[in-house]
């Protein structure tokens, strides 16, 4: 797919700044709110990010947050990336999901050698998405690999310029093993023209994420320079955002946070309308329940923001990587955001009233999107057990 989207200058006439700094991209995310809400129905019906939002997000720099500074990129701190995804998801979760997953472009690109980077990314305005589940197959041949497979959960790939797929590696039909015995898993830049989207994304929620399956049925050649090690160990000498291969998943936490904020905002509007702006008409129980939902939403965001800030301090320190507890804390942030979203939905449902059962009601989609987000691996509660294991191990 060739780049057909507008440059920042071509989408001017809006309050967007040239995406030359973290502050500019964060400001752009705020300014994009009305357009995100206006395009939400189109994203839902088309089951992908709309063309208008793709153009706007590209112009605003929302897919460039993870590119390394060593290659001229923004290399935005995790806390700023979290803020951008949360802000977009507060208006539409599907759009926020696209920002989170296509923001992986810079993380992926930063793992390429210089020649391959120059070939694949002549501009940083080339959104890249992909999936690693289930993994495809990469058979070692001279100069590279023959790659085939079918990948599910391909969020953002229908509108991405580059598509990546996870592939288990084979040589002469036998698995290629790492030193620890696990089979080698690579992230592979797939030839875009060979990728076929199956159109099977008919989902309960997060429909605008475009998370359907894609495949390459007949093996195609991929140069050995167009891959990266998906399970590489932490590297203290790498660019900050590439010191750990799992860092790229953290910004997705912003989707559950944005959804929780959206639920609270809609409920506040509903309660205001019911009391006609006269708060004295509200009973104490209603105010307490609404205040609890708002407090939990606000404080979990601030807590996760602090987790991100501490991680930023570590990874942006030369020669420093996250310790196992710090890594686990980043992973569990999404689980905690998901748990807060569940609680806020429960607290607000009765306060809102019964109209959310209608498809025409704005909370109806937010509820569906919430359960779609909560189905994701990253929001599962079992991550808490992994965090406990790391804490127990560190204490001993």
Report residue 312 as tokens.
């930023």
Q: Please state the φ and ψ torsions of residue 130, each to the nearest 5 degrees.
A: 175, 180
The string over 256-280, giving b where at least 16 C-beta atoms fall within 10 Å of a residue's C-beta and e elsewhere, is: bbbbbbbbbbbbbebbeeeeeeeee
Looking at residue 167, the DSSP 8-state letter turns out to be E
At residue 277, the pLDDT reads 86
At residue 291, the pLDDT reads 97
At residue 15, the pLDDT reads 76
pLDDT tens per residue across span 110-148: 999 999 999 999 999 999 999 999 999 999 999 999 999
For residue 173, pLDDT over 50 is answered with yes
Share of the chain above pLDDT 90, in %: 95
pLDDT tens per residue across span 373-396: 999 999 999 999 999 999 999 865
pLDDT tens per residue across span 268-304: 999 999 999 899 999 999 999 999 999 999 999 999 9
How far apart CA 224 and CA 221 sit, in angstroms, is 9
How far apart CA 50 and CA 37 sit, in angstroms, is 12
What is the pLDDT averaged over residues 182-207? 97
What's the length of the chain? 396
pLDDT tens per residue across span 211-250: 999 999 999 999 999 999 999 999 999 999 999 999 999 9
If pLDDT is split at 50, 70 and 90, which confidence band does 56 have? Answer: very high
pLDDT tens per residue across span 91-100: 999 999 999 9
Q: Is the dihedral of CA 224, 233, 308, 384 positive or negative?
A: positive
Q: Please give the C-alpha separations between residue 204 and each of 47, 94, 219, 258, 364, in angstroms, as whole numbers.
A: 11, 12, 33, 18, 11
What is the pLDDT averaged over residues 309-330? 98
Full set of structural domains in the chain with CATH: 8-120 (1.10.540.10), 128-229 (2.40.110.10), 240-395 (1.20.140.10)
If pLDDT is split at 50, 70 and 90, which confidence band does 336 have? Answer: very high
How far apart CA 255 and CA 97 sit, in angstroms, is 6
At residue 4, the pLDDT reads 37
DSSP 200-219: ----SS-GGG----EEEEEE
Residue 113 CB neighbour total at 10 angstroms: 12
């Amino acid at each position: 797919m060739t780049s057909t989207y507008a440059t920042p200058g071509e989408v001017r006439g809006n309050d967007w700044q040239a995406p030359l700094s973290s502050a500019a991209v964060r400001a752009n995310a705020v300014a994009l709110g009305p357009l995100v809400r206006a395009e939400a129905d189109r994203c839902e019906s088309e089951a992908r990010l709309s063309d208008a939002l793709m153009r706007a997000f590209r112009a605003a720099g929302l897919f460039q947050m993870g590119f390394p500074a060593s290659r001229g990129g923004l290399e935005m701190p995790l806390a700023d990336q979290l803020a951008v995804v949360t802000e977009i998801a507060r208006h539409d979760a599907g759009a926020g999901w696209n920002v989170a997953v296509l923001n992986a472009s810079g993380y992926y690109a930063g793992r390429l050698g210089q020649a391959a980077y120059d070939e694949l990314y002549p501009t940083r305005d080339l959104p890249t998405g992909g999936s690693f589940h289930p993994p495809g197959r990469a058979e070692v041949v001279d100069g590279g690999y023959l790659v085939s497979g079918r990948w599910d959960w391909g969020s953002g790939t229908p509108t991405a310029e580059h598509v990546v797929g996870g592939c288990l590696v084979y040589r002469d039909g036998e698995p290629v093993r790492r030193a620890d015995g696990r089979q080698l898993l690579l992230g592979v830049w797939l030839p875009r023209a060979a990728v076929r989207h199956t159109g099977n994304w008919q989902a309960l929620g997060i429909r605008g994420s475009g998370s359907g399956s894609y495949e390459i049925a007949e093996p195609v050649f991929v140069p050995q320079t167009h891959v990266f090690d998906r399970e590489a160990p932490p590297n203290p000498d790498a660019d900050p955002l590439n010191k750990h291969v799992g860092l790229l998943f953290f910004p997705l936490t912003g989707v559950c946070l944005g959804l929780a904020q959206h639920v609270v905002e809609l409920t506040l509007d509903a309660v205001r309308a019911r009391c006609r702006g006269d708060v004295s008409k509200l009973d104490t129980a209603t105010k307490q329940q609404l205040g609890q939902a708002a407090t939990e939403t606000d404080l979990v965001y601030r807590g996760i923001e602090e987790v991100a800030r501490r991680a930023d301090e570590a990874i942006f320190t030369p020669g420093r990587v996250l310790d196992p507890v710090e890594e686990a804390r980043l992973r569990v942030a999404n689980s905690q955001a998901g748990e807060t979203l569940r609680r806020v939905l429960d607290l607000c449902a009765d306060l809102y009233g019964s109209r959310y059962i209608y498809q025409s009601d704005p909370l109806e989609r937010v509820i569906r999107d919430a359960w779609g987000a909560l189905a994701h691996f990253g929001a599962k509660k079992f991550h808490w057990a992994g965090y406990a294991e790391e804490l127990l191990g560190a204490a001993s």
